[in-house]
Structure 1
Amino acid sequence: MFLLVRIEYELSNTLIYRKFCTQATKENFNIGTIGHIDHGKTTLTAALTKVLSKTTNTKFVPFDEIDKAPEEQQRGITISIAHVGYETKKRKYSHTDCPGHKDFIKNMICGATQMDAAILVVDAAEGTMPQTREHVMLAKQVGVQRIVVFINKAEMVDADLLELVKLEVCELLDEFGFDSSKAPVVVGSALMALDQVDGDFGQRSVERLLEELDKLEAPKRDTNASLILPVSSSFVVTGRGTVVVGTIEKGILRKGDRVQLVGAGKCLDTIVSDIQIFKRPVKEVRAGDHVGVLCRHVHHSDVERGMWMTKPNSVPICNHFEAQAYFLKPEESGITSCPIRTGFTQKIMCTTWDQTGRLVLTNTDMVMPGDNFIMQCILQRPMPLQVGLHFTLMHGCSTIVRGVVTSLFNNLPVYSLKDTKTLTKKVQ
């Protein structure tokens, strides 16, 4: 009798394990909501999980669990990026809910770098607004190739205004280099869907949105390259250790692997104790997966956003590089910029890290908006860098320069940042 029960138990565990493995190997797609503040990005994120919770293994994530920081709940806005997992019959989705408020544009850029495609949420009553434009521009700059439009709060306006908003959004997409003819537009109401209201603007609109998402072609994942996992956040699990969270850009990561956390002038050796995808333990993850990794013998205070998890000694940390760059025009950046000269110091953003950097112009004394130019940059602290890496240079909350790394050099002392003459001599 005991043997029979034992066999049934083992068989049950095997079937559960096989079922889980099938789910774990389902294709992952990184999606995210972008758009102006209060246009309904977080409400739509919650509605997606609500609708899918009825037909798949998706867990419903309420609005207040997505905007869970006390300040977010008090102010009613998203400040930090939030990640939510859900799945359709076709594939898994790792969903990034980006902040729409201008003050938190840095967090939005961090979120957008992790997306394969974006859902642009536009309020039907307001149409495109300042952060709508900026989010579309930033999405293009960080490499997001595809956009699906969700015109929200459609129950509040008439059909004529809806058509005008559609035209306005299509013009905006075309302006920033997206092909609006290939960008599906879904009209609906995230709040009605969240409240389980039937009808074209209710749950059916979210179902149509999911159908359009499933039609998007997943990008080719580079699983043969060495591991790169930019850290977007970290936290402590009491009694177990430090967990780093991020989306794998390249390579494969397995439980038990020896890896390094590099960046901010540090190099931390560790071993992967555990890996989870939205609280599900897995033994192996690969490029495109959004994961949490439990790191052995790493103090949480030593980990910073922007560090990379890599194979040992595979990626240099560097504070001095050369780049090909473009100075955005006022109509592209949204602000009127002064000329840039050697010694110009601003925030540099790349993957999930940001650092203060000082520029040295190599072939000219000054560049103007609209100019392409070659520059060298010295960062305040050495960060993980590779040739071909894209970055943006911020002025306040606006992007004014975008560029690509072309060469890496030996590190320069930090004191050079304070002295333009010394800096120029060191570079030359």
Structure 2
Amino acid sequence: MDYLGTEYKRKGSFAYAWAMDESSDERERGVTMTVSVKYFDSKNYHVVLLDSPGHKDFVPNLISGTAQADAAILVVDASIGAFEAGMVGMTGMGQTKEHAQIIRSFGLEHIIVAINKLDSVEYSQGRFDLIKLQLGSFLRSCGFKESGLKWVPLSTMENQNLVEPPSNIRLLSWYNGGCLLDAIDFIPPPSRYISKPLILPICDVISSRTLGQLAVSGKLEAGAIRVGSKVIVMPSGTVATVRTIERNGANCNVARAGDNVCIGLQNIGDDQLTSGGTLCHVDFPVQIASVLELKILVLEISTPILVGFQVEFHVHHAKASARVEKIISLIDQRTGEILKKAPRMLSGKQSAIIIVNLDREVCVEEFATCRALGRVFLRSSGSTIAVGIVNRILEQS
């Protein structure tokens, strides 16, 4: 733990980021780039912590990390100017807003808003209340319910309100709502789809001596997996054998829906494994497709979406270049009622049914069949421009 006291590339505020940002590139830049996984125990849970990047250059990795989460901690910088920059960007969609929209679009209902760096504003209750008012209004507009929001003031640099109640008298004078660790324990346990056929979206393909020559990592979205069992790897369609299972850094014989695991495989080549693929029950392979009908919500954008518009398509851990093939209709976001057929373009905050044509096939399911493989994101020029679901699969293999 000696690294915790080391200055982070002459940036004192990044000193503790070394605990999660382990790669040389991350430490050189002072920016979280990949999804780092750590484990700890609270009173109620064994917590899998997925530290996802917030920098705009690495939002695709944020999407990949959020795909594996049951709940979220949204860390907000309370210092003057920093919060405001996170709310308003070049297109009106700042990074804080984009992150919150992505979190909600993955179906996460519980979010802890950790308002950090309050030491920089003298632990001002006024500053905390202002952030809570402005951000709270946006979160509710995204679909978060008040019961799913928990607001926690803290200062990581001064170790205030993280795992113990605050000791700073300025914070104690107006806050008694529990520390960050307490807030995690108040999140209700998620439901699991253990009785359904196996679905494990592949987050990463790794090489490990302990797991075998080839291994994949990810979260079991449905079903269970056992050492020695056969699985079908999509989109290649190759049948492989489970050699080893590692859960929470330890070997085990069985893993079930909700577990974050590494799976060592045998009888398969490295050219048949890819991030964005899926491990499935041999009798229930997921679909692969390249033409999809989507139901989307357009976010705050500066350039309208037209037919022919090129986008970056994201679904679970898969991404592909795509083209907007057709804009079928504008719809009411709440009722689904058709407001206008075949509109010429889409603007910010509109909901619509569109058809996209991907440049390659991806593992996907209609949202009504499998939510984990049916939530999609469209990005362009480094920003998320729309979120939505797979309404229908139009062409599949």
TM range (shorter): 0.7 to 0.9
Shift of 1:122: 1.1
Q: 1:69 to 1:89 in 2, by over 3 A?
A: same
In structure 2, the partner of 1:71 is 25
The corresponding residue for 2:61 is 107
Structure 1 window deviating more from structure 2 (288-297 vs 151-160): it is 151-160
Alignment of 1:228 with 2:213, yes or no, is no
Deviation at 1:103, TM superposition (A): 0.9
Shift of 1:157: 1.5
Question: Where do residues 6-405 of structure 1 align in structure 2 (5 Å cutoff)?
Answer: 63-125=17-79, 126-128=82-84, 129=86, 130-158=94-122, 159=124, 160-180=126-146, 182-193=148-159, 200=166, 208-238=179-209, 240-263=212-235, 266-328=236-298, 332-333=299-300, 335-341=301-307, 343-361=308-326, 363=328, 364=342, 366-369=344-347, 370-388=349-367, 389-405=374-390
Contact map agreement 1:154 1:201 (CA 8 A) in 2: no
What CA distance in whole angstroms lies between the structure 2 residues aligned with 1:311 and 1:198? 44
Counterpart of 2:338? none
Residues 92 and 288 (structure 1 numbering): CA distance in 2 closer, same or farther, change over 3 Å? Answer: same
Summarize the Cα distance change of 1:379–1:256 in structure 2 as closer, same or farther, 3 Å threshold: same
Distance 1:249 1:352 in 2: 13
Cα displacement string for residues 280-305 of structure 1 (whole angstroms, at most 9, x for unaligned residues):
11111111111111111334454221
CA deviation profile, 1:313-337 (whole Å, cap 9, x unmatched): 5224423343242351xxx33x212
Q: Would you say the 8 A contact 1:255–1:275 is kept in 2?
A: yes
Paired residue type of 1:82: S
TM-score by length of 1: 0.74
Compare 310-319 and 85-94 and name the one that shifted more.
Answer: 310-319
Structure 1 residues 219-252: Cα deviation after superposition (integer angstroms, max 9, x where no partner): 2111111111111112111482112110111111
* CA–CA distance in structure 2, aligned partners of residues 100 and 231 of structure 1: 22
Note if contact 2:292-2:390 (Cα within 8 Å) is conserved in structure 1: yes
Which protein is bigger by CA-based radius of gyration?
Answer: 1
Change (3 A) 1:133 1:401: closer
Q: Secondary structure at the match of 2:27?
A: helix
Tell me how far 1:180 sits from its aligned partner. 4.0
The one-letter code of the counterpart of 2:103 is A
More helix by share: 1
Gaps of 5+ in 2: 1-10, 87-93, 329-341, 368-373
Q: Show the counterpart of 1:418.
A: none
Tell me the secondary structure at the aligned position of residue 184 of structure 1: strand
For residues 357 and 198 of structure 1, the distance between their equivalents in structure 2, rounded to whole angstroms, comes to 48
State the distance in 1 between where 2:54 and 2:30 align: 11
Contact 1:193 1:201 in 2 (8 A): no
The Cα of 1:84 is off from its aligned counterpart by 1.2
8 Å CA contact retained: 1:324, 1:372: no
Could you list the per-position Cα deviations for residues 12-69 of structure 1 after superposition, in whole angstroms to 9, with x for gaps in the alignment? xxxxxxxxxxxxxxxxxxxxxxxxxx9x8x88xx7xxxxxxxxxxxxxxxx4252112
> For 1:365 and 1:179, how far apart are their aligned partners in 2?
32
Structure 1 residues 249 and 292: alpha-carbon distance in aligned structure 2, compared to 1, 3 A threshold = same
- State the percentage of identical aligned residues: 24
Contact 1:188–1:201, Cα closer than 8 Å, also in 2: no
In the TM superposition, residue 410 of structure 1 has moved relative to its aligned partner by 4.0
Separation of aligned partners in 1, 2:45 and 2:345: 46
1:356 and 1:258, CA in 2 relative to 1: closer, same or farther beyond 3 A?
same
Q: Alignment partner of 2:57: what SS? A: helix
Q: What's the Cα RMSD here?
A: 2.9
Q: Deviation digits for residues 94-144 of structure 1, max 9, x if unmatched?
A: 111111110111111111121111111112213351211110111111212
Contact 1:319 1:411 in 2 (8 A): yes
Opposite residue 132 of structure 1, the aligned amino acid is: T
In 2, the alpha carbon distance for the partners of 1:177 and 1:406 equals 20
Distance 1:293 1:198, change over 3 A: closer
Q: Distance in 2 between matches of 1:407 and 1:163?
A: 43
Give the Cα separation in 2 of the matches to 1:198 and 1:317: 47
- Checking the alignment, whether the CA contact within 8 Å between 1:321 and 1:406 is kept in structure 2 is no
- What residue ranges of structure 1 are gaps of 5+ in the alignment? 1-37, 47-62, 413-428
Which stretch shifts more, 82-91 or 216-225? 82-91
Give the drift of 1:378. 2.6
Counterpart residue type for residue 399 of structure 1: T
CA contact (8 A) 2:289 2:362 kept: yes
Q: Which residue of 1 aligns with 2:7?
A: none
Point out the more displaced range, 398-407 or 223-232: 398-407
Q: Structure 2 CA distance, aligned partners of 1:285 and 1:386?
A: 23
CA contact 1:228–1:248 (8 Å) conserved in 2: yes
Of 160-169 and 133-142, more deviation after overlay is shown by 160-169
Is the Cα contact below 8 Å between 1:355 and 1:379 reproduced in 2? yes
